[in-house]
Amino acid sequence: MPMGGEACPRTPELARFLRWADAEDPDLAMGWRLLAATGMRRGEALALRWRDVDLDAGRLAVRRSVGVVKDKGAGQRLVEGPTKTGQARVVDIDDDTVAALRAYRAARASLAPLLVRDAALVLATLDGRHRHPERYSRRFVEQVVQARKAVGEDQLPRIRLHDLRHTHATLLLAAGEPVKVVSERLGHANATITLTVYQHVHPGMGREAADRFAALLEG
């Protein structure tokens, strides 16, 4: 949940942060935009490969996730495996995110062709490796702190990286997107999980449903 009891950013706040991040560090900003636009989990985004992304069709396939495994007395290592539910899913992406990915891919290709091979990680480090999930989250928090100083603390709530996923779901549900559609985008095992986690999003939904039924009944 959001840090310090603050709400997830609303649409203008999120847009403001993404614009700031893109001007500050386009490489990191692509990751933040991708997470916000798809609702992917951190590990899923960091395991995404270019062969999973179809820019012409405007969709991507979430097939795997990367996480940190800590071995007692032997440090830690990054391990790639299946998604949390063990199932792959396809997520549609909007035109602005497609355009951002095209520009990001072109910029990466100018640095090193190996960074845009089909098997290459979309959000790889410059040497083509997985980014460390925990360090990636810390980098996001650092950027949020910097952004709040730059644009005004009242213009952006304090958020964690995972809150981008919450924001994605919250904004869609509040806008009336069907729970099943949101659930599929998030990769929840079923829509019941989505309903349980986000039942707070629109407390008046039950009343609106009752009013709609009455209107239908009256013709």
Q: What is the pTM of this model?
A: 0.87
- Integer Cα distance of 142 and 160 in angstroms: 10
Higher pLDDT, 204 or 150: 150
pLDDT value, residue 135:
96
Comparing 134 with 70, the larger pLDDT belongs to: 134
Q: What are phi and psi of 86, to 5 degrees?
A: 80, 5
DSSP notation for 20-89: HHHHH-HHHHHHHHHHHHH---HHHHHT-BGGGEETTTTEEEE--EEEEEEPTTS-EEEEEE--TTS--E
Instruction: Give the Cα separation of 66 and 86 in Å (integer).
Output: 13
What pLDDT digit, counting tens, does each position of 89-114 carry?
Answer: 999 999 999 999 999 999 999 999 99
The answer to whether the beta carbons of residues 157 and 16 sit under 8 Å apart is no
* pLDDT score at 10: 80
Question: What pLDDT does residue 1 have?
Answer: 35
The burial of 22, by beta-carbon neighbours within 10 Å (0-12 exposed, 13-18 middle, 19 or more buried), is given as: middle
Two tokens, residue 166: 């919450």
Residue 62 and residue 48 in contact, taking contact as beta carbons nearer than 8 Å:
yes
Residue linked to tokens 């990001």:
104
CATH code linked to domain 3-217:
1.10.443.10
Q: Rounded CA gap, 138 and 98, in Å? A: 26
Give the whole-angstrom CA distance, residue 160 versus residue 162.
5
Sequence spans of domains, the chain: 3-217
| Whether the Cβ atoms of residue 197 and residue 163 lie closer than 8 Å to each other | no
Share of residues in the chain with pLDDT > 90 (%): 72
Residue 74: pLDDT band with limits 50, 70, 90: confident
